[in-house]
Amino acid sequence: MSRSSQATGNDTGTLVLSPPKRGKVRSVPLPDSVAMHLSAHIADFPPVEVTLPWRVPNGEPIAAALLFTTSNGRALRRPSFNRTWQTALKNAGIHGGRENGCHALRHTAASAWLGAGVDIRTVAEFLGHNDPGFTLRTYTHLLPDAADRARKAMDAFFAPGLVEGSSALTVPSEDQPRRFRRWTPSVVTCGCTGAS
């Protein structure tokens, strides 16, 4: 699914069509489950073509098909959407504060992607961030099991060496120098000295 324009309000309250943040078309994979619900929505509420000025109130009129509109087929304004969103939260028994605002949907998506192991650069691209470092700093708290995943990754890397005859890693024998024999399943130390 691609997002190439959005209806936004300006300082005068006039709706205009504008490109997404940073002027980039953004593509995000659409899960089958969402596509199914979106298809059902489109069957019940076909997209409505609206004409709005481009970027500024007196900008060139541009036609766009909107998937989500008001009940009378007009472009949704933020207050209208927020009222609907807050009602849905209340009906679901969820506190309707700022932390559960519409922006929480981005955090939910980022959390699901990162939790499933999608790399930070791809998540940054989906979210429209230029700097994957910003994405990492913003969403690090969503990776509580990162240490456990790192431990399991190293277990998987070293596991072949725990099987006799594997060339990846062998358990030290008694005739090796003492500094190379300090090994336990959770910690490997070589006893090396000096700068690394």
Q: How far apart are CA 72 and CA 126, in angstroms?
A: 32
> What is the rounded average pLDDT of the residues 35-61?
92
Instruction: Write the DSSP symbol of residue 45.
Output: S
pLDDT of residue 177: 53
Answer yes or no: do 72 and 3 share one domain.
Answer: yes
Answer yes or no: do 114 and 51 share one domain.
Answer: no
Q: How far apart are CA 132 and CA 113, in angstroms?
A: 14
Tell whether pTM > 0.75: no
How many folded domains does the chain comprise?
Answer: 2
pLDDT band at 89 (very low <50, low <70, confident <90, very high): very high
Nearest to 30 by CA among 126, 111, 121: 126
Answer yes or no: do 8 and 44 share one domain.
Answer: yes
Answer yes or no: do 39 and 108 share one domain.
Answer: no
Answer yes or no: do 71 and 113 share one domain.
Answer: no
Q: Model confidence over 2-24: pLDDT tens digits? A: 455 556 665 567 888 888 777 77
> What is the rounded average pLDDT of the residues 91-96?
91
Answer yes or no: do 52 and 118 share one domain.
Answer: no
Residue 184 placed within a domain? no
Q: What average pLDDT does the chain have?
A: 78
Residue 134 placed within a domain? yes
Domain that holds residue 8: 1-76
- Which of 4-8, 29-33, 63-67, 166-170 has the lowest average pLDDT? 166-170
pLDDT band at 168 (very low <50, low <70, confident <90, very high): very low
Residue 115 placed within a domain? yes
- Burial of residue 136 (number of CB atoms within 10 Å: 0-12, 13-18, 19+): middle
Q: To the nearest whole percent, how much of the chain has pLDDT over 70?
A: 73
Q: How far apart are CA 87 and CA 65, in angstroms?
A: 26
What distance, in Å, lies between the first and last C-alpha atoms of the chain? Answer: 47
